Amino acid sequence: MQKAAEAAKVKVGGVLARDKTIKDRRVGFELLDLGSGHTGMLADETGAGPQLGKYRVRLNDLDQIGAKAIEDALIADLIVVDEVGPMELSSRRFVRAVEKAIASDKPMLVVLHQWSVHPLAKKIRKTFRVITVTNENRDTLRDGLAKELKML
pLDDT tens-digit readout, 63-79: 999 999 999 999 999 99
3 against 53, higher pLDDT = 53
In sequence order, the 6+-apart residues with CB closer than 8 A to the CB of 53 are none
Residue ranges covered by each domain of the chain: 2-150
User: What pLDDT shows up at residue 10?
Assistant: 80
Can you give the pTM of this predicted structure? 0.91
User: What pLDDT shows up at residue 6?
Assistant: 73
Burial level of 118, CB count in 10 A (0-12/13-18/19+)? middle
The CATH superfamily label for domain 2-150 reads: P-loop containing nucleotide triphosphate hydrolases (3.40.50.300)
Residue 135: pLDDT band with limits 50, 70, 90: confident
81 forms bridges with which residues in the sheet? 15, 110
**Residue-wise pLDDT tens digits, 92-127:** 999 999 999 999 999 999 999 888 899 999 999 999
- Diameter of the chain measured on Cα atoms: 44
56 forms bridges with which residues in the sheet? 44, 51
Q: Which amino acid belongs to residue 65?
A: I
